[in-house]
């Protein structure tokens, strides 16, 4: 059974408004009001899934239900995993799925797919691939450059799908933690 997900703490609209204003006012970020800091990264998806970051493990943020998620500070700084996801997406997925999760004439816009698919369905498609007619999504389960970052790509796409991050390379990111590096090394070399 999939995990049970409850309605989120704050309306998506509030989080989106906060993210948008954080981008617009990046230069004046220090002036961001206190409630903007609380709202940044707290959101529910249109289907009611709570994607608010609740805990950090191995340098990555997770929801209460242990699903990977992003965390964006009020000044627009993205957590390291989201930045990593941007880079890995650009290296491994962009060629077919288009820049910034926007889709192409060949493959769907993944920023929308992650709002429709749950995390486990997303993971399964990347591990095993998918084929409908002549369209082929390759399996990435044995490609460490993609598979070791499958959660990072997921949180990046979630952030794109909820407009928490704009198109392009995130301007500000958190530092890479020792925990993140340790987990990455064990996946890449394991
Ligand atoms: C060689 C081209 C190609 C590459 C590279 C590729 N994909 Fe795909 N992907 C596709 C195609 C084509 C589909 C649609 C397949 C179908 O519907 O049968 C697809 C479908 C998907 C879906 C399902 C989307 C939905 O809405 O059902 C997900 C999720 C996905 N890809 C993730 C990824 C990720 C993540 C990466 C990078 C690690 C990636 N893909 C790299 C071609 C590609």
Confidence check: pLDDT of 20 > 90: no
- What is the Å distance from ligand 1's center to 112 Cα? 12
Low-confidence winner among 27-36, 112-121, 141-150, 160-169 (lowest mean pLDDT): 27-36
DSSP state of 26: G
Instruction: State whether the beta carbon of 160 lies less than 6 angstroms from ligand 1.
Output: no
pLDDT at 89: 98
Higher-scoring residue by pLDDT: 13, 144 = 144
Give the confidence band of 7 by pLDDT, cuts at 50, 70, 90.
very low
Residues 56-69, mean pLDDT to the nearest whole number: 96
Say which residues have a Cβ less than 8 Å from residue 87's Cβ, sequence separation at least 6.
none
Gap between the Cα atoms of 25 and 56, Å rounded:
27
pLDDT at 190: 83
Gap between the Cα atoms of 2 and 57, Å rounded:
21
pTM, entire model: 0.82
Instruction: State whether the beta carbon of 111 lies less than 6 angstroms from ligand 1.
Output: no
Q: Where are the alpha helices (DSSP H) in 25-134?
A: 34-39, 80-92, 94-97, 110-116, 119-128
Higher-scoring residue by pLDDT: 30, 122 = 122
pLDDT at 175: 97
Gap between the Cα atoms of 22 and 164, Å rounded:
10
Q: What is the pLDDT of residues 101-149, one digit of tens each?
A: 999 999 999 999 999 999 999 999 999 999 988 899 999 999 999 999 9
Q: What is the mean pLDDT of the chain?
A: 84
- What is the Å distance from ligand 1's center to 183 Cα? 25
- What is the Å distance from ligand 1's center to 102 Cα? 12
Q: What is the pLDDT of residues 67-87, one digit of tens each?
A: 999 999 999 999 999 999 999
Residue 72 token pair: 């964006």
Give the confidence band of 9 by pLDDT, cuts at 50, 70, 90.
very low
Residue 101 token pair: 């999760």
Higher-scoring residue by pLDDT: 2, 91 = 91
Say which residues have a Cβ less than 8 Å from residue 7's Cβ, sequence separation at least 6.
44, 48, 50
To the nearest 5 percent, what fractions of the chain are helix, strand and coil?
Answer: 45, 10, 45
Confidence check: pLDDT of 52 > 60: yes
Phi (first) and psi of residue 44, to 5 degrees:
-120, 150
Say which residues have a Cβ less than 8 Å from residue 55's Cβ, sequence separation at least 6.
61, 62, 64
Residue 19 token pair: 């993210």
């Amino acid at each position: 059974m999939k995990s049970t997900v409850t309605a989120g703490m704050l309306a998506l609209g509030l989080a989106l408004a906060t993210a948008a204003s954080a981008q617009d006012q990046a230069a004046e970020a220090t002036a961001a009001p206190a409630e903007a800091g609380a709202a940044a990264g707290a959101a529910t998806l249109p289907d009611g899934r709570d994607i608010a970051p609740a805990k950090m493990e191995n340098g990555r943020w997770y929801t209460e239900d242990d699903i990977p998620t992003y965390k964006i500070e009020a000044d627009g700084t993205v957590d390291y995993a989201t930045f990593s996801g941007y880079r890995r997406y650009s290296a491994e997925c962009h060629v077919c799925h288009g820049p910034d999760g926007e889709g192409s004439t060949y493959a769907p816009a993944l920023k929308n797919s992650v709002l429709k698919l749950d995390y486990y369905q997303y993971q399964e498609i990347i591990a095993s691939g998918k084929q409908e007619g002549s369209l082929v999504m390759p399996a990435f389960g044995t490609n460490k450059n993609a598979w070791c970052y499958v959660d990072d790509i997921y949180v990046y796409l979630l952030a794109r799908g909820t407009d928490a991050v704009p198109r392009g390379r995130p301007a500000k990111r958190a530092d890479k933690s020792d925990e993140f590096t340790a987990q990455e090394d064990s996946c890449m070399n394991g």
